[in-house]
Amino acid sequence: MRLALFDLDNTLLAGDSDLLWGELLARHGAMDVERVQRFHDDYHAGTLDIEAFFDFQLAPLARHSWEQLDAWREQFVDELVRPRIPPAARELVEHHRAQGHELAIITATNRFLTTPIAREFGIEHLIATEPEIEDGRYTGRVHGVACYRTGKLVHLNHWLRSRGLDYGDLAETWFYSDSHNDIPLLSAVEHPVAVDPCPRLAVHASKHGWPILHLRRSQGLTTH
């Protein structure tokens, strides 16, 4: 199997879905967007307390009904996500699809938010942080480990095992990401690609000879 893995935020999406979701909920009085921004800044600085972040980020899922959450999520995708998908990101996905590669989004963002985004790309497989559900409601906690940093390797291994596979069954692997937080997974695949990388990842990619891809330029797919 040839597997193409894609990070979501600031990679396939020209923006951060957690931050955008926080902005939407702040409009409805359901979240403090300033705290969202502080967590966002910590993520880019490499100092994010992932447990504290998810305690905060998942709390609205536990406080509100499925009907309300679904309505907000539909608004989120329509108003904030779909306009931020660069044409070149869709082109990249279709490039791999046309070659018959297996496609998966792998993201730290929780499954509730990212399921419709994966659907927007026509990508069946989504590897994401799992919000815990008990008695038909979200608890506000993470089920298992967060799909973050080395947690992405944990989640990828679990996903492969669930399909009766392991790394030895992969003929080729690609991973596209913007963030230095994804260096563990980028280092584990055969074809790591830095996409519109943050400064720390740009330095690391250049040092290791990884391709750098720009998806937000109007002329489409470009590398250097």
pLDDT digits (tens, 9 = 90+) for 32-52: 888 888 988 898 888 989 899
Ordered DSSP codes for 150-219: HHHHHHHHHHHHHTT--GGG-SEEEEEES-GGGHHHHTTSSEEEEES--HHHHHHHHHHT--EEESSSTT
Tell me: the pLDDT tens digits for 113-158?
999 999 999 999 999 999 999 999 999 999 999 999 999 999 999 9
Verify whether residue 196 is a known catalytic residue. Answer: no
The parent domain of residue 83 ranges over 2-223
Percent of the chain having pLDDT more than 90?
86
Verify whether residue 9 is a known catalytic residue. Answer: yes
Whether pTM > 0.85 for this model: the answer is yes
What pLDDT score does 172 carry? 95
Domains contained in the chain, number:
1
Task: Return the residue matching tokens 């935020």.
Answer: 9
Of 7, 16, 178, 182, the active-site residue reads 7
Question: For position 86, which CATH number holds?
Answer: 3.40.50.1000
The confidence band for 56, taking pLDDT boundaries of 50, 70 and 90, is very high
